[in-house]
Amino acid sequence: MNILKVIEVSKYWGGNRALENITFSMNCNILGIFGPNGAGKTTLLNIIAGIYSPTKGEIYYREKNITKLKPWIRVQLGISKTFQVVRPFRTMTVEENILLFSKIRDNSNVDEIIKITGLEDFRYRFPDQLPFGHLKKLEIAKVLATNPEILLLDEPFGGLNNEEIKDLLELFVKLRKNGKRLVIIEHRISSLLEIAEDVLFLDRGKKVFEGPVKKFLENEDIKEYYFGGNNNA
C-alpha cells in the first residue's frame, strides 16, 4: 500500500503555473523534495497538507481520497506540517505549546516529545527565550504532539548552522526509527541526502526525477545541469 499518493496534481494562480501534472507515490520513510527556487515545492507540500486546493488532480493517504478534506481533518487522520517561519504561541512556554497541540489528535506523551527533541532544559521557557535552533525544534515538537504518521517539513534547515543541522538530522533518524514518515523540502541537498531514501526533484512546476537517492546521484543530466557535473550540492 502506498502511504501517500499524488495523482496528476496541477496548481495555477491566474495565468501562472505553479505545478503541472505532478504524480508520485511515497513508499519510503524519508522522502526528500528538491528543486530550485520557484520549482513548486512549497506549493506541493501545502496541497498535501490541505492548505491549498489543487486546480486539478487528487491526493490519497492510505488509499483514502483526501483531496477535498480540510487541513484540520488531515491532521486528525495523521498528516501534519511545519512552516518555514516558526509559529509558536509566544505567551506560552515550550511545554504549554506542545501540550496544546497534543489535544488535537489523541493526547501525546509530552515528556517524551520534549526529550526526543532535546528541549528538556527549555520546557518552562517562552519562545522568545530560545535560540533559533531550538525554535525550529519546537516547531517540530508541536507537529509531533499531534501524533502524526506523516510529517511534512518545509525547509527545516533554514537559518541553521552546521551543528544545528546535524542535530536535526539525528532527530529525523530517531523519528524514522519510531515509525514516523517524513516528507522534507530542503535547499541544503547534501545534508538531506544523508538520510533521505527517495527523492522527488521539481523544476518550474514539473517533475524532473522520482526515485531512490542512489539513482538520483547517478543521474548525469541532473548532476550536469544542477550541480555542475558533481555531487557537491
DSSP H helical ranges for 178-228? 189-192, 213-218, 220-227
Q: In 3D, which of 43, 83, 16, 39 has the Cα closest to residue 187?
A: 39
pLDDT, tens digit, 9 for 90 and up, residues 24-71:
999 999 999 998 888 999 999 999 999 999 999 999 999 999 999 999
Report how far residue 64's alpha carbon sits from residue 122's, in angstroms, rounded to the nearest whole number: 39
pLDDT, tens digit, 9 for 90 and up, residues 160-191:
999 999 999 999 999 999 999 999 998 778 88
pLDDT of residue 228: 56
Report how far residue 91's alpha carbon sits from residue 97's, in angstroms, rounded to the nearest whole number: 9
* CATH architecture of the region 30-42+78-227: 3-Layer(aba) Sandwich (3.40)
pTM: 0.92
Give the pLDDT band of residue 116 (cuts 50, 70, 90): very high
Give the pLDDT band of residue 212 (cuts 50, 70, 90): very high
For the chain, what are the domain ranges?
30-42+78-227
